[in-house]
Amino acid sequence: MSNMPNISRRGLLLPTRLPDVVSAVIKALDYDDVRAHNFAVGGSVRDAACYVAWSLARAFDAVVLCPYVQRIASALVCVAVFDREINCRRAASAAFQEHVGRQGTFPHGIDIVTVADYFALGSRNNAFLNIRIAQISEDGYYINVQCKKVPGEIEEVVEELIAGLRDTDTRVRYSAAKGLGRLSARLPKEMADEILAFVLELFSPGEPDGAWHGASFALAELGKF
């Protein structure tokens, strides 16, 4: 993974290989060695993946990368906002900004950069707690209970918040629950109901005690809205 940026920037990576490369980058951006509690390894992998994503913006034209824009954008936003390692958050934010500046094809790029960059310099707990949605009323990106179309980035954020309910850090579980409650209040009822169903699934025998704890927090927050 660490050699991929140099290969890409020197023009040795052919467009025909992009499907495999993008898939590998997406997986690496979500990698964490939780079972071994070796978070340093996971952080290094995610940081390298951000570097690869950054290099893709410099190596390929917008037309070539267009089919992969949504996947790359969603993955980078989640890392920039929610990653436990501040260097990974900063790297993801830098990669996202590089794509916005050079490619110009990332949906709502400038508005997301403003939010993602703020969280990249702040704490992870604060990112969960203060999740925001840009108000761009002219193209329907502003989310409320009347809006039926939910941008892909928001769906990715919801998944990250639900994953945060399982986090080993009690503060993160609490903050994820608060963020989930605030976000659900502005989503269409159908999606809010889906979120509730996901939370209820955490109350299963196969889930760890932390997940039950996080789900309890989430139910309390969802009940407020």
User: Looking at residue 223, what is its pLDDT?
Assistant: 86
Check whether residue 116 and residue 172 sit in a common domain: no
Q: Is residue 85 part of a domain?
A: yes
Check whether residue 109 and residue 162 sit in a common domain: no
Total domains in the chain come to: 2
User: Looking at residue 217, what is its pLDDT?
Assistant: 93
Q: Is residue 166 part of a domain?
A: yes
Q: Which two tokens stand for residue 180?
A: 């989930």
Check whether residue 9 and residue 100 sit in a common domain: yes
Q: Is residue 135 part of a domain?
A: no
Q: Is residue 156 part of a domain?
A: yes
Check whether residue 101 and residue 31 sit in a common domain: yes
User: 3-class SS at 54?
Assistant: helix
pLDDT < 70 positions in the chain: 1-12, 34-40, 107-108, 111, 113-153, 225
> What single letter denotes the amino acid at residue 200?
L
Among 91, 122, 153, which residue terminates a domain?
122
Cβ pair 222, 184 in contact under 8 A: yes
Q: Is residue 170 part of a domain?
A: yes
Check whether residue 57 and residue 111 sit in a common domain: yes
Spatial separation of the C-alpha atoms in residues 203 and 221, rounded to whole Å: 16
Q: Is residue 150 part of a domain?
A: yes
Q: Is residue 129 part of a domain?
A: no
* H/E run at residue 151: none
Check whether residue 118 and residue 149 sit in a common domain: no
User: Looking at residue 144, what is its pLDDT?
Assistant: 38
What's the longest Cα–Cα distance across the chain?
54
User: Looking at residue 145, what is its pLDDT?
Assistant: 35
Check whether residue 15 and residue 57 sit in a common domain: yes
Q: Is residue 127 part of a domain?
A: no
Check whether residue 149 and residue 93 sit in a common domain: no
Domain range enclosing 176 = 145-225
Closest of 207, 203, 187 to residue 195, by C-alpha: 187
